[in-house]
């Protein structure tokens, strides 16, 4: 039996949400589903970021992505809300502060 070096190589550890962060994200998701704004979500644990994506419909591109990037924690802040076009809508060091982007009153109906 030959030695296979791929077994000995350490696998890169990805970034994911901590329990409190995930609870806060799912609480926001539940509130937005109850309001009829969101219908589905997806989570990704990538090498450099954890991403919580929310969708209006399952088959569409995400409305928003809530990203955790620990590499940016000391500079711009680890948390960001990214819109459909890839624009950063809000960035910060604290998850609750960043999620205030979704508070009532931020959105208004234009007729």
Lowest mean pLDDT among 2-16, 18-32, 60-74: 2-16
- Residue 51 forms part of a structural domain: yes
What is the distance between the alpha carbons of residues 24 and 19, in angstroms, rounded to a whole number? 9
- Residue 46 forms part of a structural domain: yes
Q: What is the dihedral of CA 30, 35, 37, 39, to 10 degrees?
A: 50
Q: Residue 68 sits in which domain range?
A: 19-102
What are the tens digits of pLDDT across the range 51-104? 999 998 777 789 999 999 998 888 888 999 999 889 999 999 999 999 999 986
User: How many domains, in total, are found in the chain?
Assistant: 1
- Residue 13 forms part of a structural domain: no
- Residue 110 forms part of a structural domain: no
- β-partners of residue 91 are 80
- Residue 14 forms part of a structural domain: no
- Residue 10 forms part of a structural domain: no
């Amino acid at each position: 039996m030959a030695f296979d070096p791929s077994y000995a190589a350490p696998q890169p550890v990805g970034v994911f949400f901590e329990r409190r962060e995930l609870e806060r994200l799912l609480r926001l998701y539940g509130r937005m589903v109850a309001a009829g704004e969101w219908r589905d979500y997806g989570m990704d644990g990538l090498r450099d970021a954890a991403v919580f994506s929310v969708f209006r419909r399952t088959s569409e591109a995400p409305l928003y992505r809530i990203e955790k990037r620990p590499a940016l924690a000391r500079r711009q802040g680890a948390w960001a809300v990214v819109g459909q076009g890839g624009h950063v809508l809000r960035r910060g060091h604290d998850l609750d502060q960043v999620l205030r982007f979704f508070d009532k009153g931020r959105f208004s109906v234009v007729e």
